Structure 1
Amino acid sequence: MKIVPQYVVSLTYNLYVDKDGNEELVEKTTEEQPLTFLYGAGQMLPKFEEELSSLSTGDSFDFRLSAADAYGEHDEEAIANLPKEMFTEAGLPAIGAVIPLQDQNGHRFQGQVVSIAEDAVLVDLNHPMAGQELHFKGQILNVRPANDEELSHGHAHGADGHHSH
């Protein structure tokens, strides 16, 4: 079947990024644990979905997303000074630790601790893959129409359409 919006896509991929001139594998899915998502529901990077738009079950793919089309360029300004009082319960995080945060609108995101000052914890809010070109290689395993429950929930419920428990 061909990939179209409102269909559930299951695929495997290897994701590579450039490290000092060499491609390094940073993420991988398998046929046993594929990436399964509702196509066109806004869960995936728009350019990622665009690259898959002409494919069908069984097709292979190999494409690159520029940093701008992936997680954006690295923003030197995206550093937050968090007051140390925020960490009294959990204790101060280690430098390099990735901590869960939430903005005033309830959006959850992660930041990486870059340093700890006298009264504040400095956190880099860039996505860990910001500023990197992403290279995806993989294969479309299955394409099927989404069921009513998946459409109403706005996400896939696994390769066969059922929640796994």
Structure 2
Amino acid sequence: MSELPVGPNTKVTLHFSLALEDGSEVDSNFEAKPATFVVGDGNLLPGFEEALFGLHPGEEATFDISPEQGFGPHNSSNIQRFSRKDFDEDVELEPGLMLSFADANQAELPGVVTQVDSDTVMVDFNHPLAGHTITFAVKIVDVVPAVTH
């Protein structure tokens, strides 16, 4: 096992969990195979990566990641109003339903229905974890130099 600390140009294998302010767990791989990523590859948000810097294999730590360092603040302009007529009649619209939309570049954009009435449908395009401080618990399994080409 390596003694290399997590930092730029490293490949990190770890167990992690994400929890909300109330302690409810959002995601965890502590009971599964550990995840592996290369620092800076985009698999982990920069705020989460930076929290790991300096940790060595075998170390465990818990961090509170602010919305600004995590999934961003909740932005009210990301809530859009649609006409009920914009949706197929056979779609059962109800709060909490996640739908897939296409953005201006035709990329997939998930949105969550927040409100429905006979004429309008309100859809929130914020990331579901936006606006939340996330408790990020980790156990570093291994750190090795990243292979660069």
1:8-157 aligned at under 5 Å gives the runs: 8-19=11-22, 23-30=23-30, 32-88=32-88, 91-147=91-147
Instruction: Answer yes or no: is the 8 Å Cα contact 1:94–1:113 preserved in 2.
Output: yes
Aligned pair in 2 of structure 1 residues 117, 60: CA closer, same or farther (>3 Å)?
A: same
Amino acid at match of 2:55: L
Q: Per-residue deviation at 1:82?
A: 2.9
- Hey, what's the Cα distance between the residues in 2 that align with 1:95 and 1:66? 27
Paired residue type of 1:143: V
SS of the equivalent of 2:49 reads: helix
Check conservation: 1:11, 1:35, Cα contact below 8 A: yes
Please state whether the residue corresponding to 2:21 is helix, strand or coil: strand
| Percentage of pairs with the same residue | 31
Distance in 1 (alpha carbons) for counterparts of 2:100 and 2:147: 33
Question: Normalization by structure 1: what TM-score?
Answer: 0.74
> Which of structure 1's runs of 4+ aligned residues deviate more than 6 A?
none
Instruction: Could you tell me which runs of 5 or more consecutive residues in structure 1 were left unpaired when the two chains were aligned.
Output: 152-165
Would the aligned equivalents of 1:84 and 1:92 in 2 still touch at CA under 8 Å? no
CA RMSD of aligned residues (A): 2.4
* 1:26 shift after superposition: 2.4
Deviation track 1:23-42 (CA, whole Å, cap 9, x = no partner) reads 22222112632222221112
- Per the TM alignment, residue 7 of structure 1 is displaced from its structure 2 partner at its CA by 3.2
Gaps of 5+ in 2: none
Render the CA deviation track for 1:91-131: whole Å, top value 9, x for unaligned. 24332111222211233332110122334321011111111
TM-score by length of 2: 0.81
